[in-house]
Structure 1
Amino acid sequence: MSNLEKTADRLNALGNPTRLQIYRLLVRAGAEGMSVGRIQEVVSIPGSTLSHHMKLLETVDLVAKEKQGTTLICRARYDVMDAVIGYLADECCADSSDGRSDRGVQWRRVAANT
């Protein structure tokens, strides 16, 4: 699968408001992540619906899951989001005809400071 296709799949996954809300929760949870049960409490959706959304986020590598005892912990994959931002910055802004080819550098600076 090409970088274009991977990036499109990842952006498509985040195009759903519920999945974007879940991803935002996981980003804010940081390296310690968040349990599936806690995600379900915060998002207020049935378990089967959450499972569907989590599976898609995991399929496009935006989320990683880890079993800790009987608890399933989910974490945002920052490296993958960095690749998405990098692709947008490097590929979409390269050789811009309006003289804004430095936009990618600006985006990377913003992402690094966020």
Structure 2
Amino acid sequence: MELAIQALSALAQDSRLRIFRLLVRQGPDGMAAGDIARELDLPASTLSTHLSVLANAALVRSARHSRSIVYTADMTAMRDLLGFLVEDCCQGRPEFCSPLLDSVVAGCAEPSDCCTPSDNGTVQ
């Protein structure tokens, strides 16, 4: 539960939410820190602080690619967070959660593992 609180707290700030949503849109290729800063018009020092908060909340990962650090959204962590939030969905009756799951799937630009409902009604 502590990690869920940390993740929700990290996403409760406008710039961090914008960064996370941008990285989700970028998919597994991620985005270099400098490109994120330019795209969202954030100073490098401010971006660094926000990325650190998101990384500490396990929502983003980073990898060095040559001279750049590339950030990606950790979709497994996000799936786990969403799973935690709907763990006891509708008193154990997953069919009541189908409107939520349908809206998640409909909101995906392309079907992917993070947006595919499983046979038991949870999002994988």
TM range, normalised to the smaller chain? 0.7 to 0.9
The structural deviation recorded for 1:101 is 6.3
Amino acid at match of 1:24: R
Matching residue of 1:33:
30
User: Which of 28, 39, 49 matches 1:52?
Assistant: 49
Cα distance in 2, alignment partners of residues 80 and 113 from structure 1: 16
Runs of 5+ consecutive residues of structure 2 not aligned to the other structure: 106-114, 118-124
User: Which of 5, 8, 13 matches 1:8?
Assistant: 5
User: Which of 59, 63, 66 matches 1:66?
Assistant: 63
Pick closer, same or farther for the CA change 1:87–1:108 going to 2, 3 Å.
farther
* Contact kept in structure 2, 1:89 and 1:107, CA below 8 Å: no
Question: Secondary structure at 1:61's aligned position in 2?
Answer: coil
Matching residue of 2:121:
none
Matching residue of 2:91:
95
Question: Secondary structure at 2:62's aligned position in 1?
Answer: strand
The structural deviation recorded for 1:95 is 2.6
Identity %: 31
Provide the aligned C-alpha RMSD in A.
2.2
What is the TM-score with the length of structure 2 in the denominator?
Answer: 0.76
The structural deviation recorded for 1:108 is 4.6
Amino acid at match of 1:51: S
* Contact kept in structure 2, 1:89 and 1:108, CA below 8 Å: no
Cα distance in 2, alignment partners of residues 84 and 50 from structure 1: 23
* Superposed structure 1 runs of 4+ greater than 6 Å apart: none
